A and B are shown apart, each in its own frame.
Chain A
Amino acid sequence: MHDGGRGADTDLLIERDLAPGVALVALLGEHDLACEDRLRCELDRLLDAGSSVVVDVADTSFIDVSVLRALYGAHRKAAARRRSLVIAWGTTEAVRRLFVLTGMLERIPHAEGRERAIRLAQERAS
C-alpha cells in the first residue's frame, strides 16, 4: 500500500506483510511535527495487528524530534507486546545523526539495510 503523505516532499510507504510477522513503514522524504500524528497512528495500527515493524529510513532526508518521539513510543509499545520495532539504515547520515545526538541509537534497535532489519525484528520478537 502506498499512502499519500502531506505533500510532494513526504510520504509513507506501508507494507503489512514484508516478511512473516513483520510489517514495513518506509519514511520517504522529510518528516516532522506535521507527520507525527499520522505516523503514530500507522505504527499503532500495525502493532495492534500483532506485527513487528521495520522502519526504513534509507530514503528519508529529514526527521525531527517529533518523529523520533513517535518511533520511541512505538518501540516501547512493541517491546511491551513482545514485538519489536527496528530501524533500517540506508547510506545517508542525516537521519542517523539525530539518533546519535539524542542518544536514541542506544535505545531503539537498528540494522544496516532492510534485510538485516527484518532478521533482527524477527529474532527480537521470537
Chain B
Amino acid sequence: MSQRGFTLALPADPSALAVVRRRLAALFADLELDQRAAGDVSLAVVEACTNVVRHAYGPAGGSLYVQAAAPTGALVVTVRDDGAGITPLAERPAHWDGLGLGLGLSLIAAVAQQVEIETEPMRGTTLRLTFPCTASGGQTVDDLTSPKA
C-alpha cells in the first residue's frame, strides 16, 4: 500500500513557512503533481500558515500544525492552531482589509476545490483545504512516521 502525506507540529513563527514548503515539495514529487497544481497548493497552504503566524497568537506565540494526506483523487491539507480564532469580518480593524487577511482567504478560496473552516474564540482555528489530485494509487495517510511501501 502506498502511503503519502505528513504531519508537522512547528512553532508558529515565520521560519515554519519554509519547512512547510519543503515538506509539500517532497509530497508533490511523490504524487507527481503538475507544476501549476503544485504551485497553487503551495500558495494556499502558505497563506493559511501565514495567517496562523500573523494572527493566531499573541507575543507568547504558539504552535502551527499542518497535516497533509492524499486519498485517491484528492490532496487534503489541514492547517490548525490553538490560538485566538478568526475574528468575524464585521469586527476586524480596517487595516485587515485590502491586502491583509481577507486577500489571503480569497486566494485560498480561489485555488482550493473545497475550504472548510472551524474556528472558536480563544480555542483555535482549523482550515481544511481540499485540492484535486490525479495521483494514482494514493491512499489516506495521517502520520509522518508511517512507513512507505
Residues of A within 8 A of B (CB): 7, 9, 30, 32-34, 62, 64-66, 68-69, 72, 93-94, 97-98, 101-102
Contact A97 B50 (CB under 8 A): no
Inside 8 A of A93's CB, which chain B residues have their CB?
35-36, 39
Task: Determine the chain A residues whose CB is within 8 A of the CB of B106 once the complex forms.
Answer: 102
Beta-carbon nearest neighbor of A98 in chain B: B43
- Chain B interface size range: 20 to 34
The secondary-structure label for the interface of chain B is helix
- Are A33 and B54 neighbours in the complex by a CB distance under 8 Å? yes
Task: Please determine whether A32 and B39 come into contact, CB atoms closer than 8 angstroms.
Answer: no
Residue of B nearest to A37 (CB): B14
Question: For chain A, what secondary structure do more than half of its interface residues adopt (helix, strand, loop), or is it mixed?
Answer: helix
Our count of residue pairs bridging A and B at CB distance below 8 angstroms stands at 55
8 inter-chain pairs at a CB distance below 8 angstroms, sorted by A residue, are: A62-B21, A65-B47, A65-B104, A65-B107, A66-B50, A93-B36, A101-B110, A101-B111
Which residues of A have CB within 8 Å of B40?
A: 97
* A72 contact from B18, B36, B46, B99, Cβ within 8 A: B99
B residues near A64, Cβ cutoff 8 Å: 17, 43, 46-47, 50
Q: Report B32-68 residues with CB < 8 Å from chain A CB.
A: 35-36, 39-40, 42-43, 46-47, 50, 53-54
Beyond A30-B18, A66-B50, A98-B43: 4 further Cβ-contacts under 8 Å? A32-B18, A34-B17, A98-B107, A101-B110
